[in-house]
Structure 1
């Protein structure tokens, strides 16, 4: 049995860094040995969930610019799984959620930056899933709910994004949080641990500094998918919390 996870993937350069957070991700991967991974990535947007549908190895997508050349040499040749993708598709469809398949797209950095640290051998099948950043938190939660119970089948659900993710307010080299970043994450952690779903669904109005921390929702909303797919009676946990550049959260939740 494995949980559902929300993992902040930070900047693409995280893939080649050795720090407190990357070492934690490596240890996290050692804790769980899933038979497959279903990963919702903030870097693939669509109106309905699109599932990668292949059994062959993925190409590695470098969907960023201006980083060290060595970052563009990284390959993460994990394979897909049409069997798992079909299972996910059925679960979503059975809950009235329309889906589509994609047989061509590779793994974007929202996926491989995290997976490279957790599972460096790239030997676990991955089904990558798109997100719709215009759906409400409640509707994102319902997508997760449709997948509840996958952990009992040793399928690890990961939502990859960010809590505080304001690229326009970053402070290069700063490894402690800006006060407003910390206050937003404090609020978030408290309400997640208290299972206060109604407040979380209304985070834009209730959370301090929500507009600063979440200037656009594509990185934040995958949190609700992970939350919905977790065990209903399990106490949510904040497994890790650190920061980069003052406004990029490195937080991991287990549901």
Structure 2
């Protein structure tokens, strides 16, 4: 069993994870609380691949969060899903303060933005009651992995305050090569995924920070970095040394190239 001293990287895959009961990752997330947490968080911080900004930004919503359906041409039931979790403005203030103190001088607040599917898809399976306050933190795609790792390091103290820190992205994310077959895996995707698992489990965090030059098929697995950077934040927030030892908690595939590896 893990706890709030741990941070998590969840590969959220396709938005249809919310409704497709054939996906093993869906069942992994539905069992998450009972399997991986020894206590309930008082709030949740989600770093989502689906919120890109120039500077780090937190959403500081006071009431129930809007559910953002940020996808097109999906099954109609997807657009009826609501996840009205309470906002966490107090947590947003703490996140902003910690980042400022760590040298991130410009950190913005968005008091209107709800939860995108990078947040609500996994959370609706993990916490279906939508009763735990949620704050989102954006990624900056014009910055590098080390920038996001340092963001995570700044946020590590939140774990001691009962905050569950989740990076929500994807271990591999190349939608241009994705195919609607689930019984095989592209060789390049498997090789990148194996490198990632071995690097994280061996504690080679600097290699993961420099994945574009260290990993096989890095630019094929991630043509753009937004789905990988949440991992770097979660990795930084985990701490240093033995405290940051990674554990693979789920490993499955869909659509030929889409890894659901989670740590």
Coarse TM-score class (shorter-chain normalised): over 0.9
Number of paired residues? 253
How far, CA to CA, are the matches of 1:206 and 1:15 in structure 2? 33
Offset from partner CA, 1:160-195 (integer Å, 9 cap, x none): 111211101011032432111010010011111111
1:85 positional shift: 1.1
Does the 8 Å CA contact 1:28/1:118 hold for their aligned counterparts? yes
How far, CA to CA, are the matches of 2:249 and 2:7 in structure 1? 12
After TM superposition, the structure 1 = structure 2 runs for residues 90-239 of structure 1, keeping only pairs within 5 Å, are 90-97=97-104, 98-232=106-240, 233-234=242-243, 235-239=245-249
How far, CA to CA, are the matches of 1:138 and 1:130 in structure 2? 15
Match of 2:251 among 231, 241, 244: 241
How far, CA to CA, are the matches of 1:175 and 1:22 in structure 2? 17
After TM superposition, the structure 1 = structure 2 runs for residues 4-83 of structure 1, keeping only pairs within 5 Å, are 4-18=7-21, 19-30=23-34, 31-32=36-37, 33-83=40-90
Does the 8 Å CA contact 2:171/2:262 hold for their aligned counterparts? no
**Higher share in strand:** 1
- What SS does the corresponding residue of 1:148 show, helix, strand or coil? helix
Offset from partner CA, 1:71-99 (integer Å, 9 cap, x none): 10000000111111111111111111121
List gaps (5 residues or longer) in structure 1.
Answer: none
- What SS does the corresponding residue of 1:80 show, helix, strand or coil? coil
- What SS does the corresponding residue of 1:191 show, helix, strand or coil? helix
List gaps (5 residues or longer) in structure 2.
Answer: none
* TM-score (normalised: structure 2): 0.93
- What SS does the corresponding residue of 1:64 show, helix, strand or coil? coil
| Matched residue, 1:251 | 261
Q: CA RMSD in A?
A: 1.2
Does the 8 Å CA contact 2:149/2:209 hold for their aligned counterparts? no
1:149 positional shift: 2.7
User: Which 4+ runs in 1 deviate beyond 6 A?
Assistant: none
1:55 positional shift: 2.1
